[in-house]
Amino acid sequence: MNKQQIPVIVLAGFLGSGKTTLLNHLLHRSGGSRIGAIVNDFGSIEIDAMSVAGQLGDSTVSLGNGCLCCAVDAGELDEYLDRLARPSAGIDVIVIEASGLAEPQELVKMLLASENPHIVYGGLVEVVDAAEFDATRGRHPELDRHLGIADLVVVNKTDRVPDEERERILGVVRGLAGRAAVVAASFGRVDVELFFDRAPVGERVGQLSFDDLRDFDEPRDLDHPSDLDAPLDHEADGDHEADGDHHDHLHSAYESLSFTSEAPMEPRSLMALLDSRPEGLYRIKGYVDFGAADPRNRYLVHAVGRFLRFYPQPWAPAEPRLTQLVLIGSGIDVRTLEKELEACRTYAPQADEHGMWGVLRYVQEPDDHPDDQPAGRPDAQR
């Protein structure tokens, strides 16, 4: 392996499993290594990119609005890799955070097909949400396949399951993960050395070749032998969408709504909407402005399945007061949802004295969420 080559690690895992949290952990603990991050948001508002610590200036790039595996062409990815990998950027390792609905093997193929001489594929890390593991597997059995091609699996959110349950899940994951190392974590706190040590080893047993990845393709590839013959070419051309056949990708069953409002949200109405959210609405993330109900803070919100949390964060001095939400789900009625959100907007200048109680029920103790503090926003008021 060329010593100058920068390893590129793909960080994947289902919606809300903790990829951004893990990436932030790596960024906080990277020591002398400089990490370049490419963040792929599924929604058109780039919440994940905004949540990456300090947004990292020129060492973070964001590829929004669709899964990197399809909607963003390989040419665009190459352009960003070029930017991060040029020697003047001084980057030691690049991490691509895939969207929670991406097909990781497609990303790995893109990297293996890249002709950029400065990079080398550094492995696939899959993050698993221990608390949602059984339910997610039940809905998407194909996710087992993703574990089968991983180099490292992080079974995250182990704080949310009892010890015996954690051991059972680790056992199942080990069975599915084949040759990959499997580690348990909470809030993505993995041993960074382990993470980076794994990345640069080019000849490591277990790292997949292009041919290996073909074996993991769905049966459609067997029905279309030409797909097997030509993937390198069409991806290298940046014509990743050309076959138009992504119906079996995870994201084909999901829809997303990106909602922005300059008018603050009325806390009681928003909570009524969130508390009665439909089953299919699996993931919500973004920032809420509750206006006069709490003029000092914006509220980072995360919903993953039935889990819901708000994290108040002081507004930065010049920050525009906006609500920006991305909602992702399967079988959801996006238009109705949008209307319901619009109905939560308020123009009332006065705070309703107890209006925030419903929100505060879901505010987490700061200690439980170490890597998502406003430290990533140096200009925030403390």
List residues binding ligand GTP (CB under 6 A): 13, 15-21, 48, 100, 156-157, 159-160, 186-188, 283, 285, 302, 304, 309, 369, 372
Choose between 112 and 282: whose C-beta lies nearer to ligand GTP: 282
Choose between 93 and 328: whose C-beta lies nearer to ligand GTP: 328
Choose between 258 and 346: whose C-beta lies nearer to ligand GTP: 258
Nearest C-alpha neighbor of 20 from the set 49, 46, 59, 62: 49
CA distance 57 to 131: 34
Q: How far is the CB of 228 from ligand GTP (least distance, A)?
A: 30
Nearest C-alpha neighbor of 112 from the set 35, 43, 214: 214
Choose between 98 and 111: whose C-beta lies nearer to ligand GTP: 98
Q: How far is the CB of 354 from ligand GTP (least distance, A)?
A: 25
Q: Is residue 10 within 8 Å of residue 125, measured between CB atoms?
A: yes
Choose between 10 and 85: whose C-beta lies nearer to ligand GTP: 10
Overall residue count recorded for the chain in this entry: 382
Neighbours of 298 (CB within 10 A): 25
Q: How far is the CB of 225 from ligand GTP (least distance, A)?
A: 34
Token pair of 93, please? Answer: 């390792």
Choose between 113 and 161: whose C-beta lies nearer to ligand GTP: 161
Q: How far is the CB of 326 from ligand GTP (least distance, A)?
A: 8
Alpha carbons within 13 angstroms on the beta-carbon side of residue 204 total: 21
CA distance 233 to 21: 35
Question: Residue 25: which residues within 8 A CB-CB, separation 6 or more?
Answer: 187, 188, 189, 190, 192, 371
Choose between 158 and 346: whose C-beta lies nearer to ligand GTP: 158
CA distance 123 to 151: 6
Q: How far is the CB of 157 from ligand GTP (least distance, A)?
A: 4
Q: How far is the CB of 116 from ligand GTP (least distance, A)?
A: 25
Helix/strand number for the chain, H first, E second: 15, 12
Nearest C-alpha neighbor of 39 from the set 97, 103, 81: 97
Choose between 188 and 291: whose C-beta lies nearer to ligand GTP: 188
Q: How far is the CB of 16 from ligand GTP (least distance, A)?
A: 4
CA distance 109 to 322: 38
Choose between 128 and 265: whose C-beta lies nearer to ligand GTP: 128
Q: How far is the CB of 21 from ligand GTP (least distance, A)?
A: 3
Amino acid symbol at 71: A
Choose between 136 and 207: whose C-beta lies nearer to ligand GTP: 136
Q: How far is the CB of 208 from ligand GTP (least distance, A)?
A: 22
Give the DSSP letter string of 215-284. HTS-THHHH-HHHHHSHHHHHHTT-TTTT---TTSGGGG-EEEEEEESSPBPHHHHHHHHHT--TT--EE
Q: How far is the CB of 243 from ligand GTP (least distance, A)?
A: 25
Buried b (16+ CB within 10 A) or exposed e, 28-38: beeeeebbbbb
